[in-house]
């Protein structure tokens, strides 16, 4: 039955042109419910619109089917029906946004949130007020366009519509148990690590929340675009599904009180993301392109500052707050598991300099908890790149001790004899010695022409003493490196240590000359570290 109806509808649409009166009759039929609602609001001077879930559900369903039939007949490219189609799109989008806001307002107290941010409920009501006003404005504009196109007078409904929502208090008892074959620990680790990995690139919310909405005319949406928001929305939806699949339908939630709080924050962020996506879609698709047919007047209060105050001051702000809390919960969950130790090689290129230290610290901070790097009898805080960089002094000293020990077994009598005879200069003798050490794979050169004259100018000791001093000077100046396979031990969060071991197995993301190489798939969440400039520019949207 439906297939036949659809075929008839498509056949009708495929005609060369539809007669204006025939299309008016079709629009009067298809828009009857929306125009009835608009007439009802008009009788109240558009001042008494109240959002309820039944009201928004009908609005969303009716606007969706009307938009689809308008598009099927080419209303996007028709000067008469395009404004009518724009208002239909507004109603479809913001009835959805209103539904999400109502859900947040009515159910967030049922989420296991640690505590609601100050003013969240009040700010949610302000956002609902904005959407209510925008829907009222759009209904008014839809009715005006319908009257201009000659369809409003024909609208009738056989029965009145009741959109009130009065619900009895209470909830059903939770008395159904689920079963899982994997361990509680495996389920919890899967969820917490997935959340940390998939939300590392969502921190731009915090920067977006700081934007002054009064500067909206100068904004661009390169960072806060519909595409980026939809990507984040999908990630959070997947995380919520992961929780519901592996955690909520089991006794696992009772094992850690942070788990239900994590679920509540994931849900809050997901709903805020859905609304933010609608707002940005509305701005990109309609406000920027259709402002002249979108609002009721050039000075419509629903355009401009108020719109961006909701987007930046409410949606991205609270998404950022809930996200930060959720990441903290994940880190606290992971910190409950016992410490582990892992021995890994020291980075080949000049040890723990800025790049490997920054990546190791990013891994540790990603998972939370404490991780220490152990060298000799010293401990270094692996949360802080500067602490590990400080450890380089110890590593360099061990490398010098190693190379100096190797020097004892190497015959430099030829260079020493030629020096006594005056057959070669001290610089030439040093060059030969360093070339020999390079051939023996004891030294790595980072510059081809070493400044031998600088180290011989004021030296008065033996050749071997000069050689040791030159190695120390060139190593300190990062002109050479001692090729010694040193190792360090990390102690702390097992998940962090696993990823540090993966990083070490891939040479800490650099080649022997300290240049970037690709990170493995398991460490893709670190790519944002490399993408960050040395000084973070002021964000503009």
Neighbours of 462 (CB within 10 A): 11
Consecutive H or E run containing 441: none
**Average per-residue pLDDT for the chain:** 82
The pLDDT of 108-133, averaged and rounded, is: 82
Task: Identify the band that residue 384 occupies on the pLDDT scale cut at 50, 70 and 90.
Answer: very high
Whether the predicted pLDDT of 536 surpasses 50:
no
pLDDT at residue 241 tops 90: no
What is residue 298's predicted lDDT score, i.e. its pLDDT? 62
The owner of tokens 């008009």 is 42
Rounded to a whole number of angstroms, the distance between the first and last alpha carbons of the chain is: 49
pTM beyond 0.75: the answer is no
Q: What pLDDT does 106 receive?
A: 86
Per-residue pLDDT tens digits for 26-61: 999 899 999 989 988 888 777 778 889 999 999 999
The pLDDT assigned to 289 comes to 76
> What are residue 328's phi and psi, to 5 degrees?
-65, -40
Q: Where are the alpha helices (DSSP H) in 157-310?
A: 184-198, 204-209, 226-243, 258-282, 288-294, 305-310
DSSP structure string for 414-428: HHHHHHHHTSS-HHH
**pLDDT score recorded for residue 383:** 94
For the chain, percent of residues with pLDDT exceeding 90 = 33
């Amino acid at each position: 039955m439906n297939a036949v109806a659809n075929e008839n509808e498509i056949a009708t649409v495929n005609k060369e042109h539809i007669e204006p009166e025939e299309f008016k009759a079709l629009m009067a039929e298809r828009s009857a419910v929306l125009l009835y609602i608009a007439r009802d609001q008009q009788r109240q001077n558009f001042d008494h619109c109240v959002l309820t879930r039944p009201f928004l559900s009908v609005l969303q369903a009716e606007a969706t089917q009307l938009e689809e039939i308008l598009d099927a007949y080419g209303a996007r490219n028709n000067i008469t029906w395009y404004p009518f189609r724009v208002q239909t799109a507004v109603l479809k989008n913001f009835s959805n946004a209103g539904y999400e806001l109502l859900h947040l307002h009515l159910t967030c107290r049922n989420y296991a949130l640690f505590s609601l941010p100050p003013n969240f409920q009040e700010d949610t009501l302000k956002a609902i007020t904005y959407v209510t006003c925008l829907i009222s404005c759009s209904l008014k504009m839809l009715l005006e366009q319908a009257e201009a196109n000659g369809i409003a007078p024909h609208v009738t409904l056989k029965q009145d519509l009741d959109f009130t929502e009065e619900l009895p208090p209470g909830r059903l008892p939770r008395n159904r148990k689920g079963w899982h074959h994997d361990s509680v620990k495996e389920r919890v680790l899967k969820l917490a690590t997935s959340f940390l990995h998939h939300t590392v690139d969502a921190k731009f919310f915090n920067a977006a929340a700081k934007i002054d909405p009064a500067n909206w005319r100068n904004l661009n949406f390169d960072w806060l675009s519909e595409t980026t928001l939809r990507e984040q929305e999908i990630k959070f939806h997947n995380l919520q599904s992961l929780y519901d699949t592996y955690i909520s339908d089991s006794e696992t939630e009772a094992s850690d009180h942070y788990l239900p709080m994590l679920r509540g924050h994931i849900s809050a962020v997901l709903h805020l993301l859905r609304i933010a996506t609608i707002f940005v879609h509305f701005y990109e698709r309609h406000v920027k392109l259709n402002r002249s047919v979108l609002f009721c007047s050039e000075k419509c209060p629903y355009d401009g500052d108020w719109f961006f105050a909701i987007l930046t001051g409410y949606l991205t702000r609270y998404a950022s707050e809930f996200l930060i809390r959720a990441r903290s919960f994940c880190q606290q969950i992971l910190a409950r598991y016992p410490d582990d130790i892992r021995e890994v090689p020291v980075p080949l290129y000049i040890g723990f300099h800025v790049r490997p230290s920054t990546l190791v610290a990013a891994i540790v901070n990603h998972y939370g908890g404490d991780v220490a790097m152990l060298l000799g009898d010293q401990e270094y805080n692996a949360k802080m790149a500067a602490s590990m960089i400080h450890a380089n002094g110890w590593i360099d000293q061990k490398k010098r001790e190693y190379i100096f020990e190797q020097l004892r077994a190497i015959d430099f009598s030829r260079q020493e004899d030629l020096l006594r005879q005056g057959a070669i200069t001290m610089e030439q003798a040093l060059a030969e010695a360093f070339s020999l050490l390079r051939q023996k794979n004891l030294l790595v050169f980072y510059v081809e022409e070493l400044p031998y004259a600088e180290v011989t100018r004021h030296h008065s000791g033996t050749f071997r003493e000069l050689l040791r001093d030159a190695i120390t000077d060139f190593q300190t100046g990062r002109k050479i490196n001692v090729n010694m396979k040193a190792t360090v031990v990390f102690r702390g969060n097992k998940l962090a240590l696993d990823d540090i071991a993966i990083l070490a197995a891939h040479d800490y993301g650099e080649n022997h000359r300290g240049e970037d190489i690709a990170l493995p798939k398991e460490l893709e969440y670190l790519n944002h570290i490399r993408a960050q400039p040395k000084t973070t520019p002021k964000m503009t949207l």
